[in-house]
Structure 1
């Protein structure tokens, strides 16, 4: 299990849970941050064809109401629930990080787990690819924020557009740069 999107100013936080097959694991799986967009896309597509995958998505408005920590925990819970709905209950969940959601599943938190566990690295690829794809779709509707390149993170382009245009419907209004943009919500 891993997540993507804790730090951006806009868009969802996405968690993925991946159960790799005993044989036929795609080569090149690594921490998603170490892979190019092309490599992540290729591996994501290969993983979709061979692994059991559950994805959990928590949108910006819920991030604002819960806070990013609890929204992340909810996304992780939703990802495991998606696996279970698909008939693939995990025996033990390895979670990247130092905290676990409040759940009844056997689980271990592993700091820098995406560098240690192949299944966590695979989950990081799925989570990042899924979130990036969502943000590219939103970039078409809101092109002035530069999400096609910054994916919702607080780049100079994004911050300048936020000051000029105000927040979009998918901005995280509880995040300081959005709240400080000077617009009434």
Structure 2
């Protein structure tokens, strides 16, 4: 899938990029990653996206997009099913860094795994709570993926994706059993495969 990037007019003097992903666990939809190089004076209020309200994430996302350099990368459902979710996540992260449009001097990645890439990098467990650049990336990745799933919910209203974002909630599982899988469901995930066999 394609990646998008943007850079603010503010001069960027540090080339440390934070990277995080959204959507490893859901049963449907792509996995989305973001890479962010913060603006020199930083952004107040950054935190792990999971701890922030929707309104706060929305405000911070707008500020990050306006003032920082960022890249968004995705791996499609087809790619997830072909190479597995871990490798698809690594692919999305690589695409996000490549979409920055410049080469960072160091990449800080949330979690305990790194893609196989040419960048100097560190994997940092709970990095989204420790490093503002990773926090910013977590916000962009979650917001981007949530928009994708809310749009998909308009075409597939049975599954509640505008509320569960593709995760295997009771509502989603009941709809999967009743209506079957869509093209956005990850067929390599056991609950989807089992529902398709009914």
Matches within 5 A, 1:141-180: 141-180=155-194
* Mapped partners of 1:42, 1:119: distance in 2: 16
* Mapped partners of 1:94, 1:26: distance in 2: 17
* Mapped partners of 1:117, 1:81: distance in 2: 20
* Mapped partners of 1:2, 1:103: distance in 2: 15
Residues 31 and 114 in structure 1, CA contact (< 8 A), matched pair in contact too:
yes
SS in 1 for 2:196: coil
Matches within 5 A, 1:87-166: 88-166=102-180
Matches within 5 A, 1:16-31: 16-23=34-41, 25-31=42-48
Gaps of 5+ in 1: none
* Two-structure CA RMSD over aligned residues (Å): 1.0
Instruction: Name the counterpart of 1:5.
Output: 23
* Mapped partners of 1:110, 1:71: distance in 2: 19
* Mapped partners of 1:180, 1:108: distance in 2: 37
User: TM-score w.r.t. structure 2 length?
Assistant: 0.89
* Mapped partners of 2:76, 2:50: distance in 1: 22
Matches within 5 A, 1:37-76: 37-76=54-93
Gaps of 5+ in 2: 1-18
Tell me the matched-pair count: 180
After TM superposition, where is structure 1 displaced by more than 6 Å over at least 4 residues in a row?
none
